[in-house]
């Protein structure tokens, strides 16, 4: 089995005040060139690193989008596993898989990719604290056997190849892994671009890696700036400071030349999470009242200017089989709001639309009898409180197939008793049972139905109120060619991305 050209693209790809304050990289931008005259691509990204670009965290998706860190497996547009650093694989039995490691791959530090190092990287992920989200509920060991990595799971897992495609399981050089549990991706990847410098939460610099095992990068490098302010990000594209702007806010899209704006439905759901353990929403009837109060159409039309899809469930139109299998459902609890019920509603500013959604939700909830107190901060300063159950309600924009290309990982992480991202503090036996069935189902129609059954079990608890499904709005300068518009937010700049005359 050898990677096709489409697969190779997937392997390679894999995140106004700020403009005036000099927060963009000092490297050439907006069509700049290096000493050899090759174009460098300037990229404005939404969120700065949360964990110092530790690939065992969500920062892994930045490394993937920069094509610097790679995994054994990648996913094609249909979510099927394809070769990457592994050329082929075989399932030995229910618990055992054998992956053949690609020969001739060089890490950016000059060392060679071996089965031993691939196994060591997977072991480091398994032993990390906290573990990568993709390994929630999974017992996994990896050992080298010649040119192969033998992966063993504690229970049958039909999605092992898809699981190993997660950017959080990227394989880095041995020197990347410190004895203190830290992982340093600088100079330790295998992709067509080498990460050579990181400027805290301001930016990063990547150069073309001439020793890459696949097709060499067309661009000389990537100059990354982290620009949380959506207005500044859009302005960077309009002014030519950035060649590519990630996650252009809906409010700014209309201010940019329509030929530079590209919109794609994505598996990302804007959801209202309700605290099921403490506070008013511990009562299912109060949760039902909140669900009934939410006017999704108004939020989509007002905040997103129609550039979103009204949610009927946790999974949206980017997962086409979901709507076909979903049945109409009624809330199992009768709505009730006790007099004087005050709730805390949290969200974050990094996604420009969310504070606006919070304002509308406050109005809708107060219209049915709630008193709402808002707490809105940058994500880096609110995540810990959200996960600790400090809010009665929390608005989150959440990718639903970010990790394995399969919704079960997201559902387990967010709604299982042992889920690592359980903002709703949910622990429901029926939900856990449904998730267990879905996790064990073989890929295909059987698994799809099990996923929808799990979705219904989750929604029946009232712990989550899906409001809308977002779309990717990506800005690209006129001269940009080959940038990936990836619904999964894994790929962006690849070896085929070029920058010509605008």
Distance between the two ends of the chain, CA-based, in angstroms? 39
Domain with 405 in it? 265-471
Residue 194, judged by CB atoms within 10 A of its CB (0-12, 13-18, 19+), counts as buried
Same domain, yes or no, for 286 and 372? yes
In a domain, 74, yes or no: yes
Give Cα separations from 405 to 36, 189, 223, 420, 466 (angstroms): 39, 22, 28, 18, 20
* CA distances to 80, 264, 307, 401, 498 from 487, in Å: 15, 7, 15, 9, 21
The pTM of the full predicted model, rounded to 2 decimals, is 0.72
Place of tokens 């830290």: 182
Return the CATH number at 200: 3.40.190.10
For the stretch 35-92, pLDDT in tens is 444 799 999 999 999 899 999 999 999 999 999 999 999 998 777 889 999 999 999 9
- The number of beta carbons lying within 10 Å of the beta carbon of residue 305 is 13
**Cα 117 to the center of its chain, rounded Å:** 26
pLDDT of residue 352: 85
Give the number of domains in the chain.
2
Token pair, residue 9, equals: 């693209």
Q: Check: CB of residue 105 under 8 Å from CB of residue 173.
A: no
330 and 183 in one domain? no
Q: Domain containing 372 — which CATH number?
A: 3.10.105.10
Shared-domain flag, residues 107 and 125: yes
Q: Is 283 helix (H, G, I), strand (E, B) or coil?
A: coil
Q: Are residues 464 and 484 in the same domain?
A: no
Inform me whether the pLDDT recorded for 8 exceeds 60: no
Q: Are residues 69 and 194 in the same domain?
A: yes
Are 178 and 313 contained in the same domain?
no
Same domain, 318 and 427: yes
Query: Within this chain, do residues 136 and 237 fall inside the same structural domain, yes or no?
Result: yes
Q: What tokens does 184 get?
A: 């340093």
Co-location of 416 and 491 in the same domain:
no
Per-residue tokens: 404:
């394995």
Structure confidence by residue, pLDDT tens digits, 63-73: 999 999 999 99
pLDDT digits (tens, 9 = 90+) for 325-367: 999 888 778 888 998 899 999 999 988 899 999 999 999 999 9
Q: Are residues 219 and 273 in the same domain?
A: no
Say if residue 231 is in the same domain as residue 284.
Answer: no
Vertex 462 angle, CA 459 and 463, to 5°: 95
Please count the residues of the chain: 502
Q: What are the angstrom distances between the C-alpha of 4 and each of 12, 188, 272, 388? A: 12, 25, 41, 45
């Amino acid at each position: 089995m050898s990677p096709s050209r489409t697969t190779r693209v997937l392997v390679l790809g894999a995140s106004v005040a700020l403009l005036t304050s000099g927060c963009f990289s000092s490297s050439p931008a907006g069509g700049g060139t290096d000493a050899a005259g090759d174009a460098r691509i300037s990229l404005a990204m939404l969120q700065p690193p949360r964990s110092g670009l530790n690939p065992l965290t969500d920062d892994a998706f930045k490394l993937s989008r920069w094509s610097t860190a790679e995994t054994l497996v990648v996913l094609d547009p249909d979510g099927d596993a394809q070769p990457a650093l592994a050329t082929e694989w075989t399932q030995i039995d229910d618990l055992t898989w054998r992956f053949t490691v690609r020969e001739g791959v060089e890490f950016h530090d000059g060392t060679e990719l071996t089965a031993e190092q691939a196994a060591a990287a997977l072991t480091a992920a398994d032993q990390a604290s906290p573990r990568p989200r993709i390994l929630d509920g999974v017992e996994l060991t990896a050992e080298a056997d010649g040119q192969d990595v033998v992966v063993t799971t504690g229970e049958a897992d039909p999605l092992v190849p898809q699981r190993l495609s997660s950017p959080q399981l990227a394989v880095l050089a041995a020197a990347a892994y410190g004895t203190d549990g830290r992982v340093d991706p600088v100079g330790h990847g295998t992709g067509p671009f080498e990460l050579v410098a990181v400027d805290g939460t301001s930016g990063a610099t990547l150069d073309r890696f001439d020793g890459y095992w696949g097709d060499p990068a067309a661009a000389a490098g990537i100059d990354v700036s982290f620009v949380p302010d959506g207005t500044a990000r859009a302005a960077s594209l309009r002014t030519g400071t950035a060649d590519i702007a990630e996650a252009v806010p809906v409010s700014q899209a209309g201010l940019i030349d329509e030929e530079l704006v590209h919109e794609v439905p994505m598996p990302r759901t804007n959801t209202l999470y309700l605290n099921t353990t403490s506070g008013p929403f511990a009562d299912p009837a109060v949760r039902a009242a909140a669900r009934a109060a939410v006017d999704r159409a108004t939020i989509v039309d007002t905040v997103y200017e129609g550039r979103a899809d009204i949610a009927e469930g946790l999974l949206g139109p980017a997962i086409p089989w979901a709507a076909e299998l979903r049945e109409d459902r009624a809330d199992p609890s009768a709505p009730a709001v006790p007099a004087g019920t005050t709730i805390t509603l949290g969200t974050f500013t990094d996604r420009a639309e969310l504070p606006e959604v919070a304002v509308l939700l406050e109005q809708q909830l107060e219209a049915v009898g709630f008193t709402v107190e808002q707490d809105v901060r940058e994500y880096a300063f609110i995540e810990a409180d959200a996960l600790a159950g400090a809010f009665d309600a929390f608005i989150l924009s959440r990718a639903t197939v970010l990790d394995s290309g399969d919704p079960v990982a997201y559902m387990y992480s967010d709604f299982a008793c042992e889920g690592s991202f359980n903002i709703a503090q949910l622990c429901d036996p029926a939900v856990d049972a449904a998730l267990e069935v879905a996790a064990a189902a073989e890929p295909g129609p059987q698994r799809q139905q099990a996923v929808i059954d799990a979705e219904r079990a989750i929604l029946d608890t009232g712990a989550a109120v899906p409001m809308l499904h977002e779309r990717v709005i990506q800005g690209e300068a006129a001269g940009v060619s080959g940038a990936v518009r990836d619904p999964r937010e894994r790929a962006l700049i690849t070896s085929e991305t070029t920058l010509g005359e605008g």
